[in-house]
Amino acid sequence: MLELILGFTLMALLILAMSVGVIFARKPIKGTCGGIAALGMDSSCDICGGDMSKCE
């Protein structure tokens, strides 16, 4: 039971540490080089609505 609690606590701390940059930068998380652009699809982003200045 102790291992389960320690594992959950460690994962929660790691997620919190990774989110600090997103919280303070106030920018959406950028994707990788994959995704819709790699497939050649021209679709607007649900977050920025196609306005690239919001993502930079």
User: pLDDT tens-digit profile of 22-46?
Assistant: 788 777 666 666 566 665 555 566 6
Taking the C-alpha atoms of residue 25 and residue 19, their distance in angstroms, rounded to an integer, is 10
Q: Are 22 and 29 in contact (CB under 8 A)?
A: yes
C-alpha 26/C-alpha 22 separation (Å) is 6
The pLDDT tens digits of the residues spanning 14-24 come to 988 888 877 88
pLDDT at 46: 64
CA distance 54 to 56: 6
- With tokens 């920018």, the residue in question is 27
Banded model confidence at residue 47, pLDDT cuts 50, 70, 90: low
What's the pLDDT score for residue 48? 66
